[in-house]
Amino acid sequence: MKNKITIIGSGFMGKQIAASFANAGLAVCLVKYGKASEEDMAQIQTTCQKLIHHKEDNGALSVISYQDYRQEGQDSGLVIESIIEDLGAKKALLADLSQFIGPEVILASNTSSLSIQALSADLDASVQERFLGLHFFAPVTSNPLVEIVPHSDFPKDKLQKLCQWLSDRVGKKYIIAQDVTGFVANRIAFYSNYDIMYRAETEDWLPSQTDALSGKYLGRTKMGPYRLVDYTGLDLFEQALANYQEDPTCQDFFPPRSAHRPLLEAGYYGDKVGQGYYKKDQGKRYHYNFQMQAYEATSFPRFDIMDDLDQLDTRDRFQAILDVEDPYGQFMAQSLVNLLAFAAQNVGIACQDYRDIDRAMVWGYQWTYGPFQIWDLIGFDRVKDLLAKRQDTLPDWLENFQGPFYPDSHCLARHQSLAAYDKDLILDLGADYRLYQGPNQTLVFSLEAKNSVINLDLLKGLDQALDRLEDSPAIGLVIYSPQEHFSRGYDVKAFEASIAQDRVVEDCQISFDLGHRIIQRMKYSQKPIAVACRGYCLGGGAELALHSSRIFVSPQVKMGLPEANLGLIPGAGGLVELAERIYTADMTRMERKNRLLACFETVAYGKISAHAKEARELGYLTKEDVVVPNEDYLLEAAIDWLTYQGRYQSFRPQFPQSYPVLGKEFMALVMGTTQNWRQGLFISDHDKSLADAIGQVLAGGELAMEIQVSREDLLEVEKTVFTQLLTSQKTQDRIQHFVKHKTILRN
């Protein structure tokens, strides 16, 4: 595959697809289809540049008109059309493209609903065998899923190479879909939403009631089906429905509904016209009452079952829902059972592998669990019995299937996961951490606590893991989390407990003694330590990463030290490590001062990177740290690096050093800056004290300029300042407010 891509169509999706490929470091030609003025072209270029993560990649994307593209031709390995979702328009474009693109070029259509066979019906056989659908999901720059829908004549070997390229080079997560209505993700989601609305309307339920019971409590996004249809458009929903009702493979699952007809007849299509199932008027929200055929004021309703479900993790809610006897719980249970029945029927129709249905829903729609994962969590035999009781005919593939669907873990990745190491477990503290024996004499330390929070138990476990690393033939250690996020930081509830028990100073001493010992052991380890991060890598989690030998991150990693939001500074050497990197770098004093000031603002503002390239710009990642295009490869990449270091003895450990600091000169600069912020009413008095404390650590303490200090000196400053802040009433108020309300208190 040539590493140059052409996208035809510069609408919303076209620009998103182009930027996604450019972010992967590929050369992209974005073609404006139709009339194109110079002003149009400039506007397209400007919009795309905002979507590209790093300004250095702006040059990877060029914008030209279709007329110029036809005349000049492009040396691309893949051409993707992404124009209006209209069969006639797409067929005309594809026919024209087939006249001049090269004989080896793969031709693709970004379509969410049109048949691939129908789109290619008029193309020559030589073009059909290299034609396929590539259904990207918005926003393409952050949503990992692409559904690949090959033409029936597309060679399997070429398809496999394309899949591997999209996964390895572009960082996309793919599934192979059949050429049926809605493919996989949209087909499953559309049915589930339609089923929920249909049953709710037979009970005369209101949209807000239905949405409240059909979002997060079913492991999905907060946007319930009625709100989602308003967002996409009632008219478009009806057009899609017609396609499903004409599809013999699923038409029986879509009985007609009529309660919404008055909205369609009135042209109330949703957000694009200002009203649909919901509307806002003068700041108040209304929903449509189907019985009254009129709008009435609404708010997000609460039901008794929600209080019970709020106490449970998502994975435990599914069984609880099936055990509830009130009508709302039974409605939710029916939503789950109907979903599982439909998903089972679509294995062999929408896709060949049941795991691809789960992948589609988790990767594309951000469901917490896919249908067959939910099936396992409820209980394999229990669901089969439920389906039998409602006289559902199980599909042939499931009749003799011996569950569960995921005997080892619920991992959807196509690559090596922690499940492969279950038989090589060394240390297990269940809820907090596990230590595994990895391949090639590597160790894998897995963060298992909810949200992978850092706490004393985990730190004690990591201390033991470092002992094992040092005292065994192990060649290196990977710190990793199998969860969606590497770590959201230190367990704030532990701070609250210390405050409540009036043990702040004592507990700080314990935490610092252990935490500082661990980061020092990591930084100066004689064997390499890798950290593999995806999702959020915040606070204490980021500080662990900063002290490793090498960080491996996903492209969308969100990394930062946001402790200032709680009235604290980073307390596990994160600020010290950032300062030391600047002090030991080869630069002028003015450059050093500017870098320190930028670091100060980053931490004082609690900046969190939007992606890996910004994490590098903010100083959290070094030039040696590695961005892995597909996050499923993170663990494998880290283990491979450790293996290389061990095999070739190429790892060079770090050693303690001293360096001159800017001291009082930098402190004066910081205090002048924070005084201006305070006088401008941008911050409070406590914010100023906090920001000055950050500056004090970066300055190396209240020392004269050019005084030599060691890392231990800076850690002592950090410890003193952190303890002072944690014992202050305003910081304690912030922590207690955050634990109770999950919002930031500005006091």
pLDDT attached to residue 416: 63
Mean pLDDT of the chain: 92
Mean pLDDT of 579-594: 95
336-348 pLDDT per residue, tens:
999 999 999 999 9
Question: CB neighbours of 20 closer than 8 A, spacing ≥ 6?
Answer: 136, 140, 141, 170
| Entry pTM | 0.87
pLDDT attached to residue 313: 84
Structure tokens at 246: 């004409």
Is the alpha carbon torsion for 573, 574, 577, 579 positive or negative? negative
Is the alpha carbon torsion for 158, 164, 170, 175 positive or negative? positive
Question: CB neighbours of 672 closer than 8 A, spacing ≥ 6?
Answer: none
pLDDT attached to residue 498: 87
668-710 pLDDT per residue, tens:
999 999 999 999 999 999 999 999 999 999 999 999 988 999 9
For domain 418-562+607-655, say whether CATH 3.90.226.10 is its number. yes
Say if CB 397 and CB 368 are below 8 A apart.
no
200-216 pLDDT per residue, tens:
999 999 999 999 999 88
Backbone angles phi, psi at 122, to 5 degrees: -95, 5
Mean pLDDT of 536-556: 96
pLDDT attached to residue 1: 63
Q: Where are the beta strands (DSSP E) in 534-608?
A: 536-538, 550-553, 558-560
pLDDT attached to residue 53: 87
pLDDT band at 140; cut points 50, 70, 90: very high
pLDDT attached to residue 37: 84
What is the C-alpha separation between 547 and 537, in angstroms, rounded? 13
The second-level CATH assignment, the architecture, of 4-176 is 3-Layer(aba) Sandwich (3.40)
What is the C-alpha separation between 217 and 134, in angstroms, rounded? 31
418-440 pLDDT per residue, tens:
666 655 888 877 778 899 999 99
> Which of 32-46, 106-120, 341-355, 621-635 has the weakest average pLDDT?
32-46
What is the C-alpha separation between 204 and 554, in angstroms, rounded? 46
Which part of the chain has CATH 1.10.1040.50?
Answer: 185-399
484-526 pLDDT per residue, tens:
899 999 988 888 888 888 888 888 888 888 999 999 999 999 9
Say if CB 662 and CB 593 are below 8 A apart.
yes
| Local structure of residue 203 (DSSP, 8 states) | T
> Which of 146-155, 184-193, 383-392, 532-541 has the weakest average pLDDT?
383-392
Please report, rounded to a whole number, the percentage of residues in the chain having pLDDT higher than 90.
Answer: 76
Secondary structure tally for the chain: helices H, strands E: 32, 22
Going from the C-alpha of 570 to that of each of 117, 343, 417, the distances in angstroms are 57, 46, 31
Q: Give 185-399's CATH code, choosing from 1.10.1040.50, 3.30.540.10, 3.40.50.300, 3.60.70.12.
A: 1.10.1040.50
Q: What is the DSSP code string of 199-264?
A: HHHHTT--HHHHHHTSSGGGTS-S--HHHHHHHH-HHHHHHHHHHHHH-TTTGGG-----TTHHHH
pLDDT band at 277; cut points 50, 70, 90: very high
pLDDT attached to residue 530: 98
pLDDT band at 747; cut points 50, 70, 90: confident
pLDDT(59) > 70: yes
Which part of the chain has CATH 3.90.226.10?
Answer: 418-562+607-655
pLDDT band at 393; cut points 50, 70, 90: confident
Which part of the chain has CATH 3.40.50.720?
Answer: 4-176
Mean pLDDT of 261-267: 95
